[in-house]
Amino acid sequence: MKRAIYSVGPFTGLRVYADDDMSRPILHIDPCAHTDLLKLGRDAYGADTLRLVIGGEEYELPARRLAEDILAMLELVTQGGKK
């Protein structure tokens, strides 16, 4: 199991990086993909860990924390960045 880290924001969407290679993301979901992100957030909310299998490698992420961060980001996206 390889380690992964993520960044999620209203302009960047969700980006997941392998811990040992942050030069490019192994997964990127655009912030415009509201439905996909919402589904991922809801699915992850009830789980302990989220396992991603990408390119033959298996990565692990903290599901609950990721879900909360995705849902927080979607709050910003649905407001259209209003201040």
**Could you tell me the smallest distance in angstroms from the CB atom of residue 32 to another protein?**
16
**Could you tell me the smallest distance in angstroms from the CB atom of residue 39 to another protein?**
18
Residues forming the site for another protein (CB under 8 A): 1, 3-12, 15, 17, 19-23, 49, 59-62, 65-66, 68-69, 71-73, 75-76, 79, 82-83
DSSP string, 18-53: ETTB-SS-SEEE-TT-HHHHHHHHHHHHT-SEEEEE
Residue 14 burial (10 A CB sphere; 0-12, 13-18, 19+): buried
Cβ proximity to another protein: between 33 and 76 the closer is 76
